[in-house]
Amino acid sequence: MDFLERMIENPLFIRWVFDTNMEIEQYWSDYLASHPEEADQLTALKEQLRIFRVPAERLSAEEKKELSASILHRLAIEKRQPYCRKFFLSVFRYAAISLIFFGIGGGLVYFLMKNEATSPALVSQVLSPAELNEPVLLLPQGRNVGLQSTNPTLDYSRAGQILLNNDSLIRLAVAHNIPEINQLVIPYGSRSKVILSDNTVVWLNAGSRLIYPSLFRDKTREVTLFGEAFFDVAENREKPFVVKTTSVDVKVLGTQFNISAYPEDNVVQTVLKAGSVSLRRHQAGLFEKEIVLKPNQMGAFNKTNNEAKVYEVDAGYYTIWTQGLLSFDQVDLNLIIKKVERYYNLRVDYGNPLAGSVKISGKLDLNKEKEEVFEYLGKVSGTKIDKINNGFYIIR
């Protein structure tokens, strides 16, 4: 990886350029002291990228388009100078993607870094679920623990230590009454169960990430979710439980609910099974009311148009995945295929794109072999699903 690529893909560099603070400045001061040979390149790159500087708040879809147009216009101007054009095209390859980045990849990093309690050391450990072969627990001080199971269980109810799979202990680096931020990253093809320090139970679905403290000591119990999880929240009226996603925050006292907030999905869904939750989008106006859900309601937030709607649903359809099952009633095939891809860590293409719009009903047991699952899906959808290799299938 060359210098340009290495810097653009470094989340701390992106933060340094666009939304720095004293801690970030100190990090790069130390870096330059230990890498003096990169000082000129680093300074030049930072100044060039400041051309693309945008306000720190999350961009709307329209602002993203405007920023894209602005970048392309500037590139067109630089086209008259061969060297600059070559440089800017290289920058554009990475920077335009990284700076119009809210929602995926860099957006995740930026979202984390907006939390002042999240240290550069922790964010520098950000890993993509797609690049992992097993679930990984990321601890401060660069401690990464491979969990060596496709369905691990982590239990934080014991002070100062984590019980892994009911048989081994992971000791925390600080005193048991001092919280530290942990990240649990679940690759595609895996799932996990986490018992937090307050006895809240979280089931994490494939391709998800949960960021949480080892101990809740603030006035609220806050966790951050990228992906899908089912929460069974321990009731504590003095300490509301808050789940943060890139688009909405979900606040509860004690309840059971499911959130699907994958960065690549256009809609964030919150489905309430029991109790009560309130939803508030990040860019809500001063007088915009929270959305309060009742059991068997779904709050759906569209990230493209910033609209939120409430639907009456059967919560069981949205929570049964915790048992390794999928249940669906008149649902587009492509939505079911997307869940199957994540669950088994594979890719499915369509020989005929219209096949994805076929509506199907039924129940899948994802504990079975994937060939059985695809055979059943083929029957209920009137298609044939052919295996190309172990990780790639085509719907005829």
* 46 pLDDT more than 80: no
Taking the C-alpha atoms of residue 87 and residue 85, their distance in angstroms, rounded to an integer, is 5
Taking the C-alpha atoms of residue 315 and residue 259, their distance in angstroms, rounded to an integer, is 11
Report which residue type is found at 46: K
Report residue 73's pLDDT band, with 50, 70 and 90 as the boundaries: very low
For range 184-212, the mean pLDDT: 93
* 324 pLDDT more than 70: yes
3-state SS of the chain: helix, strand, coil percent to 5? 35, 30, 35
Out of 130-134, 166-170, 264-268, 344-348, which region has the weakest mean confidence (pLDDT)? 130-134
pTM above the 0.85 mark?
Answer: no
Model pLDDT for residues 270-322, shown as the tens digit of each residue: 999 999 999 988 766 666 788 999 999 999 999 888 889 999 999 999 999 99
* 110 pLDDT more than 70: no
Taking the C-alpha atoms of residue 7 and residue 269, their distance in angstroms, rounded to an integer, is 34
More confident residue, 21 or 168: 168
Model pLDDT for residues 4-23, shown as the tens digit of each residue: 656 655 667 766 776 666 76
Supply the pLDDT for residue 6.
64
Supply the pLDDT for residue 254.
84
Taking the C-alpha atoms of residue 229 and residue 243, their distance in angstroms, rounded to an integer, is 10
Cα 81–chain centre separation: 40
For every residue of 209-258, which 3-state class applies, written as one string? EEEEECCCCCCCEEEEEEEEEEEECCCCCCCCEEEECCCEEEEECCCEEE
Q: Which of 7-11, 24-28, 129-133, 207-211 has the highest mean pLDDT?
A: 207-211
Cα 288–chain centre separation: 26
Contact status, residue 348 vs residue 356, Cβ threshold 8 Å: no
Work out the end-to-end distance of the chain between its first and last CA atoms, rounded to an integer number of angstroms.
Answer: 39
- State which fold the 127-317 domain adopts: Jelly Rolls (2.60.120)
Supply the pLDDT for residue 4.
61
For the chain, residues classed under CATH 2.60.120.1440 are 127-317
Supply the pLDDT for residue 138.
87
* Domain 324-395 CATH (choose: 2.60.40.1730, 3.55.50.30, 3.10.150.10, 3.90.550.10): 3.55.50.30
Supply the pLDDT for residue 292.
93
Taking the C-alpha atoms of residue 109 and residue 102, their distance in angstroms, rounded to an integer, is 9
Look over the chain and give the mean of its residue pLDDT values, rounded to a whole number. 78
Taking the C-alpha atoms of residue 115 and residue 242, their distance in angstroms, rounded to an integer, is 14
Helices vs strands, H then E, count in the chain: 12, 23
Percent of the chain with pLDDT over 90: 30
Out of 59-63, 231-235, 257-261, 342-346, which region has the weakest mean confidence (pLDDT)? 59-63
Residues contacting 251, CB < 8 A, separation 6+ = 240, 241, 242, 277, 278, 279, 280, 290
Nearest Cα neighbor of 345 from 317, 315, 366, 318 is 366
For the chain, residues classed under CATH 3.55.50.30 are 324-395
Report residue 201's pLDDT band, with 50, 70 and 90 as the boundaries: very high
Report residue 116's pLDDT band, with 50, 70 and 90 as the boundaries: very low
